[in-house]
Amino acid sequence: MFEDLIYVLGKYHGWLFDGLLLTLQLLVIAVIFGSLLAVPLAIARTSKKLWVQAVPFGFIYLFRGTPLIAQLFMMYYGVGQLIANIDGIQDSWTWEYLRDPYWYCLLTFILNTAAYVAEIMRGGINNVPSGEVEAARACGMTPTTTYRRIIFPRMWQIIWPAYTNDVIFTLKATSLASTVTMMELTGAARKIVARTALPYEAFISAGVIYLIIVYVLTFGFKGVEKYLRRNEFRQADKKPNVETGVQA
């Protein structure tokens, strides 16, 4: 067992490292762009007008209601084939990018993350105490300024634990990229299994790396949470309930 593990790590750590880099790359880009896309979606979702709500609602419903692997296959084999069949596209300079699975994976992960985060943000915006919003209005702030100075900072405070959770979810979702030929961490592990017939050693190695990533993420996000809630810590002995995000 241990000899095999050392053998796998000794011989194939390069594959695992390359896989780790790709996993992190997919995760970081998906989370950043997904979150940016989620902001307008969440704002539209909290609108009182039905027709403004409808579009983000449909989008969120679609992406939360179907399995990620189905979305990935639809994007890669479905949309990918449609694009490939456009006349002349295979001769154009864009084809080098359009044929690459990387962009299809990334786009799927971004859209998927955006749907989940938008829903989390909607909950956050709705839970900003109405008194604070009214106070902002009373001070003469425009809606934009209210969002920027009151609603968003409060929203981040409220949603941060749920948001952390979603980032970890996205980390594990990136493992599906290996089904469309991307050699991220799980893909690397599967390649090692194919080579060595040592499934336990390969997947344990990959699993431990995932655990380390999650540990670092949790640690970092806890730090950010402290920063976001700095106003509360300043108030003498009132400590917020970190688990639920509900204030004491």
Contacts to other proteins by CB under 8 A: 77, 80-81, 84-85, 90, 95, 99-101, 179, 181, 183, 187, 190-191, 193-195
**Closest separation in Å from C-beta 17 to other proteins:** 17
Q: How far apart are CA 124 and CA 245, in angstroms?
A: 10
Taking residue 220's Cβ as centre, other Cβ atoms within 10 Å add up to 12
Q: Which is nearer to other proteins, 129 or 199 (CB)?
A: 199
Q: Which is nearer to other proteins, 71 or 157 (CB)?
A: 71
**Closest separation in Å from C-beta 195 to other proteins:** 7
Q: Which is nearer to other proteins, 90 or 241 (CB)?
A: 90
Dihedral sign, CA of 179, 183, 185, 186?
Answer: positive
Q: Which is nearer to other proteins, 99 or 222 (CB)?
A: 99
Q: Which long-range contacts (CB under 8 A, 24 or more apart) does 1-6 make?
A: 1/200, 1/201, 4/196, 4/198, 4/200, 4/201, 5/201, 5/204, 5/205
- Report yes or no: 121 and 166 within 8 Å, Cβ to Cβ: no
Q: Which is nearer to other proteins, 19 or 245 (CB)?
A: 19
> 179 — phi, psi (to 5°)?
-75, -20
**Closest separation in Å from C-beta 78 to other proteins:** 10
* 3-state DSSP assignment of residue 241: coil
**Closest separation in Å from C-beta 208 to other proteins:** 22
- Helices 2-45 and 152-173, interaxial angle, to 10°? 140
Q: How far apart are CA 42 and CA 132, in angstroms?
A: 19
Q: Which is nearer to other proteins, 7 or 61 (CB)?
A: 7
**Closest separation in Å from C-beta 173 to other proteins:** 17
**Closest separation in Å from C-beta 36 to other proteins:** 28
